[in-house]
């Protein structure tokens, strides 16, 4: 499979990517645990069918020390015993925030309250921002059919 066009070959797209990458750095540098950040990116990417992002974030997580068992179970986290309560709350918020169109009420008060039990206001801000950012990346890659499989950990810095 080949991408429909080179996202970074377009001046408009490259400029947009530069700004969204800057927004991503704000989240990366936040106090939201990096393990949670990778789990959120993986789960949203799975839901959105973004092979490129799923490939990237599973490889980055493994490179950072995440276990293969946990990576294998992200898609079925509700049935898995390997995630902390905080990670489960973040994954629930991610699923509801990613599937907004599927739920008339958007994100439930219960999902928000559960996340708020585990994360302070700055971490919640980072979590919400991360869910928005990864969904944007997923849509960019799915729309242009960015192929997956060749990513190497740390490739994008």
pLDDT cut 90: percent of the chain above it: 83
Q: Would you say residue 18 lies in a domain?
A: no
Query: 0.85 cut: is pTM over it?
Result: yes
pLDDT over 90 at 3, yes or no: no
Express each pLDDT in 29-80 by its tens digit. 999 999 999 999 999 999 999 999 999 999 999 999 999 999 999 999 999 9
pLDDT over 80 at 1, yes or no: no
Q: Would you say residue 104 lies in a domain?
A: yes
Express each pLDDT in 81-137 by its tens digit. 999 999 999 999 999 999 998 877 789 999 999 999 999 999 999 999 999 999 999
pLDDT at 157: 65
pLDDT over 80 at 156, yes or no: no
Could you give the CA distance from residue 157 to residue 139 in angstroms, rounded to a whole number?
Answer: 21
The count of structural domains within the chain is: 1
Q: Would you say residue 17 lies in a domain?
A: no
Q: Would you say residue 114 lies in a domain?
A: yes
DSSP helix/strand/coil, 8:
helix
Here the contacts of 72-81 (C-beta below 8 Å, separation 24 or greater) are: 74/39, 74/42, 74/43, 74/46, 75/43, 75/46, 77/43
Q: Would you say residue 98 lies in a domain?
A: yes
pLDDT at 90: 98
Q: Would you say residue 102 lies in a domain?
A: yes
**Residue 46, number of CB atoms within 10 A of its CB:** 19
H or E element, residue 6: none
What range defines the domain where residue 93 resides? 33-144
Q: Would you say residue 151 lies in a domain?
A: no
Query: Would you give the DSSP letter of residue 152?
Result: -
Domain at 131, CATH number: 1.20.1290.10
Q: Would you say residue 65 lies in a domain?
A: yes
């Amino acid at each position: 499979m080949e991408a429909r066009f080179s996202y970074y070959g377009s001046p408009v797209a490259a400029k947009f990517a530069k700004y969204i990458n800057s927004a991503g750095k704000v989240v990366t540098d936040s106090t939201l645990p990096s393990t949670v950040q990778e789990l959120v990116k993986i789960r949203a990417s799975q839901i959105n069918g973004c092979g490129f992002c799923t490939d990237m974030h599973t490889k980055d997580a493994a490179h950072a020390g995440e276990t293969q068992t946990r990576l294998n179970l992200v898609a079925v986290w509700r049935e898995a015993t390997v995630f902390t309560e905080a990670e489960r709350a973040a994954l629930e918020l991610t699923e509801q925030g990613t599937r907004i169109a599927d739920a008339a009420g958007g994100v439930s008060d219960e999902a928000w309250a559960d996340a708020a039990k585990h994360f302070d206001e700055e971490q919640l801000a980072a979590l919400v921002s991360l869910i928005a950012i990864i969904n944007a990346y997923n849509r960019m890659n799915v729309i242009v059919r960015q192929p997956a499989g060749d990513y190497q950990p740390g490739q994008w810095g």
